[in-house]
Structure 1
Amino acid sequence: MPCYYDNKRFNKIQFIEVFLCGFSFALTSFNKMNSHKEEPKQGQVFFPDHLLRKVDSARSNLLPQKSSGRYLKEYKVFCNWRLGNKVVGIDERVMLAFFEDQYQNSKPSCLWSYYSMIRSCLLIHEQVDIKRYGELQQYLKRKTAGCMTKKSKILSHLDVTRFLNQADDDTYLLLKVILILGIFGGCRRDELINLIIDDVEDHNNFIKVCIPKTKTGISRSFVITEDEEGCDPCVTVRKYISLRPAYLTNKRLLIGYRNKKCVAQVVGVHTVGNAPRKIAEYLGLADANQYTGHCFRRSSASLLVEGGGDLGTLMTHGGWKSVNVARGYVEQSTRMKTNIAKKIMGSFNETREFTTTSSVSTPHTACETVETSVENENDQFLASTSCSSSSLIRTPSLPVCKEKKAEDLLLASGNHFKNLSNCTFNFYIGK
């Protein structure tokens, strides 16, 4: 009995193990067969797990590389706000409540920048697009209505020429070169410090500068020429380049300048950003601190429009894709407003003429009454008449006498009419 029981028990356990192994093998084979033979249904995506890391890596590059830290900072503020208020999920009510709290604790002009950064992060990390929230956009428009953006002041054409002609090269040569590159090229701070010596091409009569790396990814180039008022920016740039040390291996164009010679230290973004303020202080301009690093770019756009440049030329010069952004860089200076006023007054002067009115009482007949205004015998005849004509023959004008009748006045003026009916003629006096 014991032996029989053990063998029977052994057979049951062995049978269960074999059955489980066979079932597991069959299930694995079935899954493999289905994974190779069955195709995903329409709208169904089969995505292996080993590709998830690549997806995360690709999403991390969707934010702007330079300001990604600020984007993530604002997104973290929004996440902490949700945790603090025990909010689960995202809808338009949540966003309205969040921006209402932000409006109480920050400037109204900052709301749109917060909206842009949080929208990008939500779309990347949570696949939520708040752009379709119409009430939220209307709320932001109402709260930011009337807010004036703070912009840098600009340098006029007179300010630029004064500094280039009056400032001493022994002290201000570097600032002159920064000013020339910034004005002629409409450059940003980063574009100036990233220029290398190979980007400058000297063509004797002019200097061509290429900007391969820009904020918008559009490469630009510009030319430096001589000024009409005796200022020669090309000479200044050539002088600065000739002072570069021979042992210098760095190809950066802008390097330090001290004690009448260039040094190996490269120029940083803060030096370029403070250049407009130092130029304004030298010229004695008011509010010198308001001439920021964006002064050169705004000044270049404004000077281009003052010189007669159209909108297309302006967008090409600055590398702008948006018309509204390009217009925002143009500052209406006193010179531009003066030119507009002169054009308005010019239209008044063109229409300021003496007129004479003539009326016709009977159709199909010549004018019977004419009102004239003659100051001297050298004035030409001017009449305004209402009649209808089938033909008009004009001859050289003759002097007019006040004593003549209406028909004689018309004939004496050199204008002959026939078959007149319901027409209007205007005659102007010219000296």
Structure 2
Amino acid sequence: MKENSLLTEGDVNFAESRKNWYDIIDTRTKEWLDKDAEVFLHQSLSTPCLDVLASCEGIYLTDVSGKQYMDFHGNNVHQIGYRNAYVVDRLKQQMDILPFSPRRYTNIPSIAFAKKLTDLFPGNLKRVLFTPGGTSAIGIALKLARVITGKYKVVSLADSFHGASIDAIAAGGEEQFKRYMGPAVNETANIPQPTTYRNDGDEIEYANALETNLQSDSSIGAFIAETIRNTDVQIPSKAYWQRIRAICTQYNVLLILDEIPIAFGRTGKMFAFEHYGIEPDIVCLGKGLGAGIIPFAAIVCRDEYNIAKDVALGHYTHEKSPLGSVAALAMLEYIEQENIIAKVQSDEIFMRQHLLALKERYSIIGDVRGIGLLWGIELVTDRTTKTKAVKEAEIVMYNCLENGLSFKVSQGNVLQLCPPLIITRLQLQAAINIIENAIQKVCAPAA
């Protein structure tokens, strides 16, 4: 297959900056990376690998050469940090008692966690189903929506991502996951993605695009979207989401919210939809649910949707995982005991102040947007045209990696910052300093 020379970091890692990275890593690391490339099937977004990790703790990753990275990426699993002692202790205790529970049986940890989780939700959102991963949670939600509504079509947002399985990519809108895949499992229409820097009038127009689709096609049973778009940090207005909720209610269409990467305090609320005064019909959860240790995910839905008793919605081997349930329950307890959500709300003020100050100093920063401890710094070559500074974003990212800060670049030019919620102010400031020093490599400060 011919490589596309225009592909950038974050696509298939063929960027020039990635090639240059291998010139600065040590020989032992290169040897391990070569062995990795020999045995694993290569795929977009993760091949070739960046480095070889040996350990992790708190906000840090440590590679085999002893280098530490502050992890502002973490695949969104690290809300309460790596190897959280409170969670690890609970898991060790459970390992000695009941590490696995076959289907046909339940277990006390899964019941206890299900009760704890549903108690956090409003209204009648009181039914759960667990899965080993977020993509599977999306699949269950889509299957349940068909059972509930008798309809099989879905509306989602353009360029959206809801998982990498066939059914999940069909429901999403991100083209790189659909390449070579042929006919979709779900028949899906895409409406425009709401963006932070549009005014409410534009966003309401985008919300009304959902109604236009529903008016023209009575086979649509569900609308699925991230409440806040994680990758490049797009934060819709309250008016947008309240209009979407009203449209779904009017047309008897299920509102499925994908909070797999952003729940559990990331946005300064336990769940992102709490910012909008709406109540979804189904919520998909995952990633941080397993506390960065156990693969674990879930859906939460209304009690009246408990109508699929003759359908195997999930039927996964690790469905009621005692270990996953213990990890998730410990994660929630830790967030509550350490008052993490209040901390994140305070950290948001700190981040906004310091990142907006960076924007004032450097013309390459076209936009800064964020909520809680989820932030995006959008780099542009021209603020008026919003031309993406793709090459510059890669230079910044690799300079930060050299200096011990890991994050991802989204949409080619957005530095996405997603640190563990346990991070200290001194660590946040250190990370901002690293970013500023890297930005100075591509843009001089204003006089």
- Fold-level similarity (TM above 0.5): no
More strand by percentage: 2
Report which of the two structures shows the higher radius of gyration computed on alpha carbons: 1
- Of structures 1 and 2, the one scoring higher in RCO (CA 8 A, sep 6+) is 2
